[in-house]
A and B are shown apart, each in its own frame.
Chain A
Amino acid sequence: MTRRRGFSLLEVLLALVLAGLPVVAAQRLMVHSVVQTRLAAEHRHAVQAAHGSWERIYAFHVHGLWPQQQLAAGTWVPNLAGTLSPAVDDRSLEHCVNRWCAQGAWAAYELAILQCALAGQPQGCGDVSRWSEPSDLQSELTQTALPRWYLGLRGFHARIAVEDGLSIEVSWPGASVAPALEGSELDPDARNRIQLGGAS
């Protein structure tokens, strides 16, 4: 009777390498897929935030300012022009909820709303827009339940221009991936960008 030998360590390692190759390939594919999905979600978040600001500004300009000849048709409140970043602005902000704001204060308020929306404040810019917070149920809930994609854009740069028509431009880093996947192969210098409005 012949006694069969087992596998040597070299054989086992070789088998592992051969088996691992497709696994690694599948992993890279999944990481790529997740990253692309994440980037699509960020893109959608940026568009939604910019679109919300656009609708608000548009409504006031079409109905509130042009008919009264306070601004020439086709022009926008100049104070709306500005740049935004996630950095906390320590300037005191005059809110415009349940009180009237002059054009300049309203423009500053709108910029703060956009900044807050892009950053994805968990409570929907509660401090800025001063919505009353959800009562009863809220106290029992945990904020950790908020999905990761709701945390907004990191390292974004936004710009509102009013020279050639109103335009809202937002860019953010391409490496903003889910925490679990950070460190994967991504180009940190790549930036995503969206723009609403403006001269073509």
Chain B
Amino acid sequence: MKVRGVTLIELLVAMTLGLMLLAVLVHVLVGARQLSTELGQQSEIEEQVGLVRQLLAGALAGAGSLGCLDRPDGVFNLLNTDWAHLGLLNPWPGVDILVDPSLSDLFSNMDDLSSNSHGVVIRGYARPLARLTEALGDHRGEAQLHSLQTRVNSGDVVLLSDCQQGAVFSATRTWHSQGRLRFSWDTGSGAWDNAAVAQTMAGDPIPTDLDQLGSGFAPDAQLWGPSGLLLYVAPSRVVSADSDSEVYALWQKTVGGRAMELMTGVHQLQARYGAWTDQHGGQMGYFDGDALPADAQVVLLLLRISLVAHRYDDVGVRPVEIAIPMASGTGG
């Protein structure tokens, strides 16, 4: 018996049906793959943003700190009182947004900054050094170092504070022995030689000679070292140099520390203050670094990071905004 095989028409019909099924499957697969890729990128961005947020929250907790990190009021007050404007205290306490960071001395050794990005400087006295062990007198003081590895060298600028009052001075004639520190404070002619007169948060003048502080500091007064963090955009070192175009990244550098790349593929960093004033019954606003009114009370740091987002053959810019209250992370 002769049995015929499949005709061309039958084969074509079968193939068409099969291809239709396959097309639907491929369509779904492609959609799933695209979404998966995008969500993977999104997750990576969120991890990096979370890191930046955590880092900044920690740094802001010490911004303008009097050394009393468990007391957010202290942080806030120092940021917004005359302390921040005193020459003696500059350039430490506070948060500065630099519209053109290349003009700042703090960034003077960085010659490859992104030209269209802001720089952010967060500084305070959040590094505990030693606890005062005896009242100041005879033009000298003594303290117990928190760590045997800690050193305060002559000329180092330190903050002495008991959370009620404080003074910033340049320590001189320091001496270390078995975890104890002795220090003095000579008056010189330089900006950091205790030549200026500071004032307490209450507005009382602090004479250059700390001996004249009268009742002196409380027994739990501590010495604090300056802490600082720079945030800026510069070329990435993660992406290989053979890339077609320069890839920029968000960097952070602590004072006295090494620079660390936080986010790769950053096109632009913009920063802005959230501030308020008690004028006219209380008003609020958001200000660029060079537009902050003199009477502004800063409460918020806003960052806008423009990321270069790749999607197949296209490239776009994806902005990410971060809002960090000034006292975030201070507890209390």
A contacts, CB < 8 Å to B: 3-9, 12-13, 16, 19-20, 23-24, 26-27, 30-31, 33-34, 37-38, 41, 44, 52, 55-56, 58-60, 62-65, 68, 70, 96-103, 106, 117, 123-124, 129, 131-132, 134-138, 141-150, 178, 180-181
The reply to whether B286 and A97 form a contact with Cβ atoms under 8 Å apart is yes
17 contacts between A and B (CB under 8 A): A8-B6, A9-B10, A30-B29, A31-B28, A34-B35, A37-B36, A44-B42, A52-B323, A59-B325, A68-B282, A98-B285, A100-B293, A106-B285, A134-B317, A137-B317, A141-B314, A141-B315
- B310 CB within 8 Å of chain A: yes
Q: How far is the CA of A60 from the CA of B30 in the complex (A)?
A: 46
The reply to whether B6 and A9 form a contact with Cβ atoms under 8 Å apart is yes
Given that A9-B13, A96-B285, A134-B317 are contacting pairs, would A23 and B25 also be in contact in the complex, using a CB cutoff of 8 Å?
A: yes
Residue of A nearest to B46 (CB): A44
- B327 CB within 8 Å of chain A: yes
Q: How far is the CA of A101 from the CA of B280 in the complex (A)?
A: 10
Q: Which of B299, B318, B323 contacts A146 (CB 8 A)?
A: B318
**Neighbouring B residues of A146 by C-beta, 8 Å:** 309, 311, 316, 318
Given that A34-B32, A59-B326 are contacting pairs, would A143 and B279 also be in contact in the complex, using a CB cutoff of 8 Å?
A: no
Q: Which of B14, B41, B282 contacts A9 (CB 8 A)?
A: B14
Please provide the 9 A-B residue pairs with the shortest distance between their CB atoms, ordered closest to farther: A6-B5, A5-B3, A145-B316, A124-B319, A145-B314, A59-B325, A64-B276, A100-B283, A180-B31
- B232 CB within 8 Å of chain A: no
The reply to whether A136 and B116 form a contact with Cβ atoms under 8 Å apart is yes
**Neighbouring A residues of B306 by C-beta, 8 Å:** 134
- B321 CB within 8 Å of chain A: yes
The reply to whether B25 and A27 form a contact with Cβ atoms under 8 Å apart is yes
- B211 CB within 8 Å of chain A: no
**Neighbouring B residues of A137 by C-beta, 8 Å:** 267, 308, 317
Q: How far is the CA of A101 from the CA of B284 in the complex (A)?
A: 5
- B300 CB within 8 Å of chain A: yes
Task: Give the number of residues in B that approach A within 8 Å (Cβ atoms).
Answer: 74
Q: How far is the CA of A144 from the CA of B280 in the complex (A)?
A: 45
The A contact surface, by secondary structure, is helix
- B24 CB within 8 Å of chain A: yes
The reply to whether B283 and A102 form a contact with Cβ atoms under 8 Å apart is yes
**Neighbouring A residues of B315 by C-beta, 8 Å:** 141-142, 145
Q: Which of A16, A58, A100, A132 contacts B21 (CB 8 A)?
A: A16
Q: Which of A64, A101, A148, A150 contacts B318 (CB 8 A)?
A: A150
The reply to whether B46 and A99 form a contact with Cβ atoms under 8 Å apart is no
**Neighbouring B residues of A103 by C-beta, 8 Å:** 281-284
Q: Which of B34-78 contact A (CB under 8 A)?
A: 34-36, 38-39, 41-42, 46, 76
Q: Provide the B275-312 mask, 1 if CB < 8 A to any CB of A, else 0.
A: 01111111111111001010001011010101011110
B330 → chain A closest CB, angstroms: 11
The reply to whether B281 and A70 form a contact with Cβ atoms under 8 Å apart is yes
The reply to whether A63 and B282 form a contact with Cβ atoms under 8 Å apart is no
- B258 CB within 8 Å of chain A: no
- B18 CB within 8 Å of chain A: yes
**Neighbouring B residues of A37 by C-beta, 8 Å:** 35-36, 39
A152 → chain B closest CB, angstroms: 13
Q: Which of B286, B319, B325 contacts A58 (CB 8 A)?
A: B325
Q: How far is the CA of A124 from the CA of B307 in the complex (A)?
A: 12
**Neighbouring B residues of A132 by C-beta, 8 Å:** 270
The reply to whether A68 and B38 form a contact with Cβ atoms under 8 Å apart is no
User: Max chain A CB contacts within 10 Å: which of B27, B309, B319?
Assistant: B319
B308 → chain A closest CB, angstroms: 8
**Neighbouring A residues of B28 by C-beta, 8 Å:** 27, 30-31, 34, 181
Q: How far is the CA of A66 from the CA of B24 in the complex (A)?
A: 60
Q: How far is the CA of A140 from the CA of B21 in the complex (A)?
A: 40
The reply to whether A144 and B4 form a contact with Cβ atoms under 8 Å apart is no
The reply to whether B326 and A63 form a contact with Cβ atoms under 8 Å apart is yes
Residue of B nearest to A12 (CB): B14
Given that A100-B279, A141-B316 are contacting pairs, would A135 and B326 also be in contact in the complex, using a CB cutoff of 8 Å?
A: no
The reply to whether A123 and B319 form a contact with Cβ atoms under 8 Å apart is yes
The reply to whether B316 and A38 form a contact with Cβ atoms under 8 Å apart is no
Q: Which of B260-278 contact A (CB under 8 A)?
A: 267-268, 270, 272, 274, 276-278
Residue of A nearest to B313 (CB): A145
Q: How far is the CA of A100 from the CA of B286 in the complex (A)?
A: 8
